[in-house]
Each structure stands twice: as C-alpha cells, then as structure tokens.
Amino acid sequence: MRRSVGTAFLIGFGNCGGTIATFSFLAKDAPKYVKGYSLSLGFFGLAAICCTLYFFALISENRKRAEGLSEHSGKSEEEKGRLGDLNPDYRYML
C-alpha cells in the first residue's frame, strides 16, 4: 500500500509541476525566462535537500533496527511477518 501511495504522489506532483511550468515560462519573459528557470532551480534545490534528509533518516532507522531499538522489537516471528517494512529485521536499501 505504501508503494501505491508513493507512486500516486509521484504522478500527482509531476502533474502539478507541469501546471506550474505553464504559468512560469511566459512569452513576455522570452528569451531568458528568468522567473521560470529560477523556479525550476529552486524546486530542484528543494528536492535535493529532501532526498538528502531522507537518506540520513533511513540510515538512522537502519541503525536503530540493528541495535534492536525499533518499536516493534521483541515480537514473534508471525507478528513480524505481518509488519511488512515495519519488521525490525527489514533494512532499507540506500
């Protein structure tokens, strides 16, 4: 379910990007399109920051799970099997 929601967010935000681009690259700003390219670079920077923060959050979560500090530690194998990626034995790929 998480993967499905993530895919839907990706498609939705991609469509929003197309709408924003329509209103930021205006003919009156030609040929330099300073406003459009500034917005594009700003969103690129925001995406880079978010990806970096997510990377470090996953490293932190993998460390917690390796040390047994996960909130789901100590459950039976059957309970762990039903947890999916919340399973304390699951490691996020980086």
Q: What is the pLDDT of residues 66-91, one digit of tens each?
A: 998 877 777 888 888 888 888 888 89
| Residue (of 33, 2, 39) closest to 19 by Cα position | 39
pLDDT at 18: 87
pTM for this prediction: 0.76
| Residue (of 74, 55, 53) closest to 89 by Cα position | 74
Yes or no: say if 86 and 3 are a contact pair by the CB < 8 Å rule: no
Say yes or no to pLDDT of 1 above 90: no
Residue 60, both tokens: 């932190």
